[in-house]
Amino acid sequence: MSALTSLSGVRGAVTLAGAFSIPYVLNNGDAFPERDLILFLAAGVILISLIVASISLPLLTRNADEVPTEDEEKLNAAQIATLKAALRFLAQSMNEDNRHATHAVIARYEARLRSLSLHEEERAEGFELAVAENQARLIGLQAERKEIARMFKAGEIPDYVANRFNDSFAALETSLSRRSRMRVLLLTRGLRKLGAAIIKPKEVEPRLDKGIIRKTKLKTCQAAIGAIRAQMTKENRKASLNVIGQYREIIRAISRKNEDPEDERLQRKLRQEIQLRAYQVERDEIQAMYERGEIKRDMANALRKTISYAEATVLEGELA
């Protein structure tokens, strides 16, 4: 660990700054003695340290990403335990007022629990299916983007609707392509919102017409389904049908919209609140397992980090 710390540190910044701070001449006007030699030695030390670190670090860390099977099994078991704790909480806290919203959150947890409970071979197949589904989603998003461009060019939608959809597509594409950069994505969204508030105050921003938004989404979903069907093969048939099913569910949800948007907003907020409380139950279970000695500190931190990413997504309003 000490070797890794020494080799991976920032090198050359202080050395170079010190070398370049040497004046050309002394107070009496004479040239500073051996200044060129000092600069040469400093550059040599920096170059050698960079080369040594570039060669040594890959050798020292080549097994760092390999998680021991025992630890991997413990992590999987710990994740299952946290999900079961959340499911118990959801079942106990369900009542007539929050039944519909709670069922929606429970369905998400049960899907995650089924995924974690699969055997290794099934998990590998599930991973391949998830990759294929992401590819299908990207194809669908590209088709949606093209449909928005067509509708805007034909004058079917105003520019602010096209911009909102394109911003949403860009965020989703980033999330699908680089899931590990979720924090960067959320930061970018925040900066975009701040910039929009400064450049374009709310009082001059057009009022959002939800009717136009729904009609536009229906058309983009239909375009996405057509594009995904067009590229469907025997190999990606299952993944493509899964994503098409998700688009059809969106279409059904939009078609079921009644004339009470306030009720839908309240249901969405209720689902969000229930999910956030369930995340806290997961954190409490992680802390309890850590205090009982069932998991180590680094494993507990990894589990908490996963929850934090999911929680950030919910707080951004991504929970449907």
Q: What is the mean pLDDT of each run of 10 residues along the chain (320 residues)?
A: 58 73 83 86 82 72 52 84 93 88 86 73 64 86 92 89 84 61 49 50 56 88 93 88 86 67 75 90 92 89 84 61
Whether residues 126 and 254 fall in one domain = yes
Task: Give the pLDDT confidence score for residue 150 in this predicted structure.
Answer: 93
In this structure, is residue 83 part of a structural domain?
Answer: yes
pLDDT of 207: 62
Amino acid identity of 1? M
Q: Total structural domains in the chain?
A: 2
Q: Is 320 inside a domain boundary?
A: no
Whether residues 27 and 158 share a domain: the answer is: no
What is the pLDDT, as a whole number, of residue 250?
Answer: 83
Residues 30 and 134 in one domain: no
Residue 131 lies inside a defined structural domain of this protein: yes
pTM over 0.75: no
Domain coverage including residue 43? 2-60
> What pLDDT is stored for residue 284 in this prediction?
93
